[in-house]
A and B are shown apart, each in its own frame.
Chain A
Amino acid sequence: MSTDTLVDFDELLTRYEPVIGLETHVELGTASKMFCGCSTTFGAEPNTQTCPVCLGLPGSLPAANEAAIEATIRIGLALGCRIATWSRFARKNYFYPDIPKGFQTSQYDEPLCTAGHLDVEVDGEIYRVEIERVHLEEDTGKNLHVGGSTGRIHGADHSLVDYNRAGIPLVEIVTRPVPGAGAKAPEVARAYVTELREILLALGVSEVRMEQGNLRCDVNTSLAPTGSLEWGTRTETKNVNSLRSVERSVRFEMRRQAAVLDAGERVVQETRHFHEDTGSTSPGRSKEEATDYRYFPEPDLVPIAPDEEWVEKLRVALPELPAARRVRLQQEWGISPTEMAWLVNAGAVELVSDTVAAGASPGDARKWWLGDLARRANDAGTDLGELAISPAQVAELIGLVSAGTINDQLARQALDGVLAGEGDPAAVVEARGLAVMGESDELVAAVDAAIEGNPDVAEKVRGGKVQAIGALVGAVMKTTRGKADAATVKRMLEERLVSS
């Protein structure tokens, strides 16, 4: 779809240096909304989780959700931020049907948390991402544009608005610009979001399901000629909603901007939309005609003044954070830092940990998540965690292999079944008849048939060339479509062909 000229990634790195920056929105998993008592459950019938407050009806007033304030402070603490002793909400004024009040209640110049950082590792190197601020605001409703081909407002016949999401507490985490990542910029961006996601999961403040929009990223990218003292003009890519897309959007913008600069043109400061299907971006609203949001302190809410004692209590009660946890797990699992890094890059640490917790050995768990499952995620173009299989199911599958019920080959077929939604591994094995054959009549017949069908090979084995038995094992496996246990088959063949 895109008609942009793109420069080869490796080539552009010979002339340009990227700077990235991320704004991440996280929907908190509080039971009720930010300023009213409405439920936050995902997927309810449109406009059933609303009240006068989150619909912005005339006369209604907000009352701040303390659980959301607490969660924001915990996020700030986990990111090493300074927690404000005095913080206020502000009104961000603009017109759009999905904001019921005509303004979004957000934070402006007095955010709850400032000046933190998050270290991420890419290929053994640590990159420090400075956090500028963490603030609390409310989510908007969702517009549904009906008719037209793009799902956007232009060309639509009419639009519907669902306010169930309006008022769900939203934390915005803004990084400072990250220079110096060079060729690794796309991966650093991805690693940052991955690590942030892990932290949010560890804190238990959000389900962080990117496919449900719990975590949404705006990715800023700019390029400057290598060695330049000034940074280039940035673009802000909106709606980047998977880890893989974060990486792809940076890569695409770097390649596109390089072409613009190569042509001697200026990069336009604008917001851009990311397209999952093509991995490309397209222009949205130009920042040069930027809205003046007319921020001012929200007079309907009192300032938040977290007292030191409370903040200290929250700090002490923070759970083990992912970085520390990885060091511990690496030791427990007996793996190298590089092996741990693979797990991190694949977004598999928690998955492996949960699989181990469900009874699998660390080695098996790693083997499956980084092997077959990673391959399938890659083929499907999704993140590992979004595969339709749970760590418990993977552990069950591994258990079936260890018990000899199935072998690796059959386990892969069982995996197909689980991913196709046919049920738990044991049920799939049962339903698909995948269990390894015992010394059944069927197997005896297959062994005998292999000997009869390959008389010359059988003769070689009888004559002492025991290694030739492999061909016969292969023949049996073929007739049993892999369901036989190779060791059993070998033993049976030996019983028949090799006199002891």
Chain B
Amino acid sequence: MSSPDLTTTSAADLSRALQAGELSSAEVTRAYLDRIATEDGALGAYLHVDAEAALATAGAVDAARAEGRELGPLAGVPLALKDVVVTEGVPTTSGSKILEGWRPPYDATLAAKLKTAGTVLLGKTNMDEFAMGSSTENSAYRVTRNPWDHDRIPGGSSGGSSAAVAGGLAPWSIGTDTGGSIRQPAALTGLVGHKPTYGSVSRYGLIAFSSSLDQAGPMTRTVLDAALLHEAIAGHDTYDSTSIDCPIPVLAEAARRGAGGELAGLKVGVVRELGGEGHTEGYEQGVLDRFREAVALLESMGAEVREVSCPAFDLALPAYYLIAPSEASSNLARFDGVRYGLRVGDDGSRDLDEVMALTREQGFGAEVKRRIILGSYALSAGYYDAYYGQAQKVRTLIGRDFTAAFSTDDGLGLDVLVSPTTPTVAFPIGSRVDDPIAMYAADLCTLPASLAGVPAISVPCGLSEGLPVGFQIMAPALADDRCYRVAAALEAAQDAARGHRLLDELGRLGSKEDTPS
């Protein structure tokens, strides 16, 4: 492979070439580091890159392979982690000033798994502060640009990860998804992003935003890559009490099978409430067109498609914006300046409460404060039942809508539900920062699966106005393999029709800037 190939090819291909000895990990790693060095100043995908450490790991993998040691398939493949993932000795900020300079003394379970698998950590990617946002504009550190159009957002909160993978600054990345933070940025940058079943990937070492919703998952260039990376991080973990004790699903196999394109008998439900008739307000026509074309494609592969109504989905947005901020208000209480990170005003003239308050005042950004205030209010005595309690009931109703759609006993017996991943394509940087409600609407389609804890994947389904559109596939809990199977079928059919991958239409950054969007 030539050097530009190395930074556009799939991770699965890199893995194959590394195992075959056609490539060294050092070569691949250097190719990515070079690209980071030249492109990331403009793109803003990374918060931390340690080239030396990456090359050292790559060298060690190459040496081990040269000695003929048995290595896993991911050994030597570079990787970027969203900065919400705690990494031992490597700065971890969750996009916040309040954690500036913190070097954790431990690894997140998934970071440890990826380390053991021999992956090479390129760096930590930018994100909305504490994963609160849909555009990565809430990062305390830098703006991240969409590789498809530098004036547009890369989605969020895992926008550093999406920009890095789409922009060729990492072959793949781990993101986290609380209300859509993997799927939405993946959709807006032409990537595949999967939010696993809640509890199937350990949350130990993910800096918590909303504990009952957070899940880590893959953000990749292909469906197969996503399945491979997902398999590497999944599994029961005694350090996470909400982790499900069940075998790791066979995902890569499902993706390979799906790529065969045979979907005969697959029962697909198109969710009316997510862009269907009477529910198109806020949806761009181009997004709806691409979505409907993809649905037609599934049908052409043998899927039985029907529309289904999930009435409680209409309430997902308000429910989410009570539950997530409530949990966040508590999860973020530990950032008080006492034990680690930023401490402001401790000059002997102020008492403890003042130092804590000043630290939080200066350490947190506006969106984080907004959500802490919102969440604190929703949990307050006298308001709990009306807000948090009520939102939990909505959550139950959303779960029932999914059950009604999926259950073979007393439901419709559908295999998957589908919708657009986002109502619009990537919007211009700065266009929604002063309108939180408009910003929150970016998660409209992704919230139901988050609230119900079911798996959902976003796979590209074409361009609108030159920008990627995402197609969301939701499945019952623990049926992540269905997401991969259907996504792979759609990906393969589209690639075949197009003659190339969607990402190949993304010109190199230099030339892209000359192209009007």
Contacts and interface: CB of A to CB of B under 8 A. Distances in A.
Interface of A: 52, 55-64, 91, 93, 95, 97, 100-103, 153, 159, 161, 292, 294-296, 299-302
A58 B241 contact: no
Interface string B131-143: 0000000000000
Contacts of B309: none
Nearest to B102: A58
B338 A97 contact: yes
B340 A57 contact: yes
Interface string B198-209: 000001111110
A203 B332 CA distance: 39
Nearest to B341: A58
B50 interface: no
Contacts of A57: 86, 104-106, 339-340
A295 B330 CA distance: 10
Contact of A302 (B206, B210, B241, B352): B241
Nearest to A296: B379
B149 interface: no
Contacts of B353: 95
Nearest to B356: A95
B99 interface: yes
A350 B104 CA distance: 49
Contacts of A103: 330, 333
21 contacts: A52-B104, A57-B105, A58-B334, A59-B85, A59-B204, A60-B204, A63-B239, A63-B241, A95-B336, A97-B336, A97-B352, A100-B339, A101-B334, A102-B332, A102-B336, A294-B330, A294-B379, A294-B380, A299-B211, A299-B212, A300-B241
A449 to B, nearest CB: 74
Contacts of B240: 61, 63
Contact of A61 (B94, B203, B384): B203
B481 to A, nearest CB: 25
A61 B388 contact: no
Contacts of A52: 104-106
Given A59-B204, A100-B334, A294-B376, A64 B384 contact: no
Given A58-B86, A102-B333, A292 B327 contact: no
B205 A60 contact: yes
A319 to B, nearest CB: 31
Interface in B255-283: none
B238 interface: yes
* 5 tightest A-B CB contacts, nearest first: A102-B333, A294-B379, A299-B211, A299-B212, A59-B86
Given A57-B339, A102-B332, 12 more contacts: A52-B106, A55-B339, A58-B334, A59-B108, A61-B239, A63-B239, A63-B241, A95-B353, A95-B356, A100-B334, A295-B379, A299-B242
B57 interface: no
Overall SS of chain B's interface:
loop
B66 interface: no
Nearest to A58: B207
Overall SS of chain A's interface:
loop
A64 B204 contact: no
Given A97-B336, A299-B327, A58 B379 contact: no
Given A57-B105, A60-B205, A296 B241 contact: no
Interface residues of B, number: 45
B326 interface: yes
Contacts, number: 104
A91 B375 CA distance: 14
A95 B333 contact: yes
A381 B147 CA distance: 76
A61 B204 contact: yes
B381 A292 contact: yes
B450 interface: no
Contacts of A161: 338
A161 B329 CA distance: 24
Contacts of B388: 296
Contacts of B104: 52, 57-59
Interface string B234-259: 00001111100000000000000000
Contacts of A60: 106, 204-205
Nearest to B238: A63
Given A57-B105, A60-B205, A153-B352, A93 B333 contact: yes
B92 interface: yes
Nearest to B326: A296
Contacts of B376: 294
Contacts of A63: 238-241
Contacts of B326: 296
A61 B241 contact: yes
Contacts of B380: 292, 294
A100 B340 CA distance: 11
A294 B328 CA distance: 12
A93 to B, nearest CB: 5
Contacts of A153: 352
Nearest to B388: A296
Interface in B101-127: 102, 104-106, 108
